[in-house]
Amino acid sequence: MKTEVILTGNIVGLGAESDHVKVAAGYARNYLFPQRLAIPLTRANKRQLEALKQRRAEREAREFNTMTELAKAVSKLICLVKVKAGEDGKMFGSVTAGMIADELKHQFDISLDKRKIHLEHPIRALGEHEIELHLHADVKGTLKVRVESLTPVTAPAPAAEAAAPDEAKTEEGKKPRTEKRGFSRREAKGEKPEKAAKTEKEVAAGDKKPRAPKGERPARAPKAPRAEKTEKAEKPETPAKTE
């Protein structure tokens, strides 16, 4: 069974002061009348309509001014919302209007109905987001929301740093090549072999004179002729024996 009542207060989804509405008799009897949010529609009560309309106009003017000031103040704020996310920055879950309303109350002591926070879809990415606020029928505003991870996010290394120069790279499992071929293991470890040490001594003693190219070398002096061997001295004749 329905009954007509005159609302004396603003009820979301039902109406505002001075509105005539039809509601269930039990709802009016058990809730609206005890809370003084409505009165029965009678001739005597109709006389209160002008007063209710005046009170409604004053209330709406106050709300308009309040929400206009709130829109200006909120536009300068950044609401921080921390969420759980993986090391790659991927969020676990999403940020809802209710979470934003709770953070506004916690951080700035601003009480705002979550239904005034207009989100086309829940926020599912880290970073800054600009959302729209429907504060009043004639007042809209914006709010910046910064979503951060509770755990540090590991940023990917730049490609330039990840790729080392070819000269500095050595294949895994292979020994680095030495500057000269034929170096022994001792040379690769920084130990000088005896041969190398000997060469350094020779260099320290003085560089050898460079050999003249073939064809430009001075002619060798002719060798002195060897002295002819004298004939062997003849043995002196022995005197003949006399008889």
Residues near 192 by beta carbon (within 8 Å), at least 6 away in sequence? 186, 200
Do 88 and 143 lie in a common domain? Answer: yes
Hunting for tokens 């990917």 — which residue is that?
A: 156
Q: Determine the pLDDT at residue 196.
A: 45
Residues near 36 by beta carbon (within 8 Å), at least 6 away in sequence? 8, 9
Give the integer Cα–Cα distance in Å for 165 and 175: 17
Q: Determine the pLDDT at residue 146.
A: 94
* Amino acid at residue number 106: H
Q: Determine the pLDDT at residue 234.
A: 47
Long-range contacts of 77-81 (CB under 8 A, 24+ apart): 77/108, 77/143, 77/144, 78/128, 78/144, 78/145, 78/146, 79/103, 79/104, 79/107, 79/108, 79/143, 79/144, 79/145, 79/146, 80/107, 80/145, 80/146, 80/148, 81/145, 81/146, 81/147, 81/148
Burial grade of 218 (CB within 10 A; 0-12, 13-18, 19 or more): exposed
Distances (CA, A) of 69 to 63, 80, 120: 10, 21, 25
Neighbours of 187 (CB within 10 A): 15
User: Is 84 inside any structural domain?
Assistant: yes
Q: Determine the pLDDT at residue 225.
A: 56
Which structure tokens are listed for 167? 């000269």
- Any alpha helices (H) in the chain, and if so which ranges? 25-27, 43-46, 49-74, 97-108, 159-162, 185-188, 194-205
User: Is 52 inside any structural domain?
Assistant: no
Give the integer Cα–Cα distance in Å for 181 and 188: 11
Q: Determine the pLDDT at residue 109.
A: 93
Q: Determine the pLDDT at residue 93.
A: 87
Q: Which pTM value belongs to this model?
A: 0.51
User: Is 213 inside any structural domain?
Assistant: no
Q: Determine the pLDDT at residue 54.
A: 87
Q: What total of structural domains would you count in the chain?
A: 2
Do 42 and 92 lie in a common domain? Answer: no
Do 41 and 98 lie in a common domain? Answer: no
User: Is 168 inside any structural domain?
Assistant: no
User: Tens-digit pLDDT profile for the chain (243 aa)?
Assistant: 888 898 888 888 888 888 889 999 899 999 999 998 988 888 878 778 888 888 888 988 999 999 999 999 999 999 999 999 887 888 888 999 999 999 999 999 999 999 999 998 889 999 999 999 999 888 999 999 999 988 765 655 555 444 444 544 444 555 545 444 544 555 545 555 454 445 555 545 554 555 555 555 555 655 655 554 444 444 545 554 544
Q: Determine the pLDDT at residue 68.
A: 94
Burial grade of 140 (CB within 10 A; 0-12, 13-18, 19 or more): middle
Q: Determine the pLDDT at residue 167.
A: 47
Do 89 and 23 lie in a common domain? Answer: no
Do 40 and 86 lie in a common domain? Answer: no
Domain extent, residue 24, equals 2-47
Q: Determine the pLDDT at residue 219.
A: 56
